[in-house]
Amino acid sequence: MKALDLTVSPGPHVHCGSKTTCMYYNIMLALLPAVVMGVVYYGFDALRVVSASIASAMLAEALMQMLLRRPIRIADGSAAVSGLVLALILPASVPLYVVVVANFAGIIIGKQLFGGLGASPLNPALVGWAIIRITKTWAGYLDFDLALVNYDTGFLLQYPLALLKGEGASALANLNCADLFLGRQAGGIGASAIVCVLAGGLFLVLRGIVRWEIPLCFILGVLGVSGIFWLGDSSTYADPLFHLLAGNVMIGAFFLSTESSSSPVNRWGMVVYGLGCGAMTVVLRAWSVYPDGVVFACLLMGLFVPLLDKLKARQIVPVPAEPPGTNETGQGGTSS
């Protein structure tokens, strides 16, 4: 009789029967409307950045798999999704070599060095973006006010979060919430197209690819903490609706924080993680030097995922009643 080969690994374990490739291809399909909107607003430059980002992410993954003598599996879609997500939070004017560096850094440092797909503790796309953002030489390329100044899009190309950071809430009087929702705001190629990102995110939730707990709690965290700031000082801090519609909140809630290998799998872990990402986003917007805090909030909360995976609902186990006539020693009869 042939012996069975069993693979034993530490929990948690989740399997719904679907394939990894199907999951990542659905994510790309969900992000397609945001890509189209980015091309409509920023033209060929947006398509150039998206194409270069996907290609460089897949190239970095293939080269590392060859170097580490692992099976080449770039067709599974994970590297392509990392490149696509990174491109959507970048401005359309960013130089291509910066895009390539960000993807190589994210895939190599944030993914392959930890073992590849399923083993990375942080989202590779966020690792690549953060490295570019904290590098003094390249940080200016992510300044949307400077990067998009030469584009003619038909709406005000002034980054709302930078406006809030520099001049306070009083400078937001001319901003229309409907324009923010429709993506008529300066920002990343696809991240600012809120209606498209929201539609794609709901598609993934309905398909069961993304659990609803993290996006919902992320949004509640943003609304709750921004509401506290706003009630405390409405002249300095913006209202909760603005924080929800500006910047990377929607793409963060549905696509950045829900990356499978860097987010919790237990329900209570998801709740705490989502609330933490949303709350930290607003805190970083209010008190850090960065206009938007979504990426750094997701990275910081990702460090706690191993701990959050241990959070489970407490189970109350009933204690069976002792049979009549049992004494303190557990023996039947009456004590003398």
**Per-residue tens of pLDDT for the chain, all 336 residues:** 565 566 655 555 555 545 788 889 999 999 999 999 999 888 899 999 999 999 999 999 999 989 988 888 888 888 999 999 999 999 998 999 999 999 999 999 988 888 877 778 889 999 999 999 998 888 888 888 788 877 777 777 788 888 888 887 777 777 788 888 887 888 889 888 889 999 999 999 999 899 999 999 999 999 999 999 999 888 888 889 989 998 899 999 999 999 888 888 888 999 999 999 999 999 999 998 888 889 999 999 999 888 888 877 554 555 555 555 555 444 444 443
In a domain, 163, yes or no: yes
**322, 278 Cβ separation under 8 angstroms:** no
**230, 238 Cβ separation under 8 angstroms:** yes
In the chain the first and final C-alpha atoms are separated, in Å, by: 61
DSSP code string of 97-136: HHHHHHHHHHHHHHTGGGTSTTT-SS-HHHHHHHHHHH-T
Rounded Cα distance between 175 and 186, Å, is 12
In a domain, 252, yes or no: yes
In a domain, 81, yes or no: yes
- Cβ-proximal residues to 267 (8 Å cutoff; 6+ apart), any chain: 213, 313
**Phi, psi at residue 332, to the nearest 5°?**
-70, 165
How many structural domains is the chain composed of?
1
In a domain, 261, yes or no: yes
- Write down the pLDDT at residue 271: 93
- Cβ-proximal residues to 126 (8 Å cutoff; 6+ apart), any chain: 106, 110, 256, 295, 298, 299, 302
- Write down the pLDDT at residue 328: 47
Nearest to 218 by CA among 194, 243, 242: 243
Both structure tokens of 174: 């001319």
| CATH classification at residue 114 | 1.10.3430
**Phi, psi at residue 17, to the nearest 5°?**
95, -10
In a domain, 324, yes or no: no
The pTM for the full model equals 0.84
**For residue 73, what are the domain limits?**
20-308
In a domain, 28, yes or no: yes
In a domain, 259, yes or no: yes
In a domain, 132, yes or no: yes
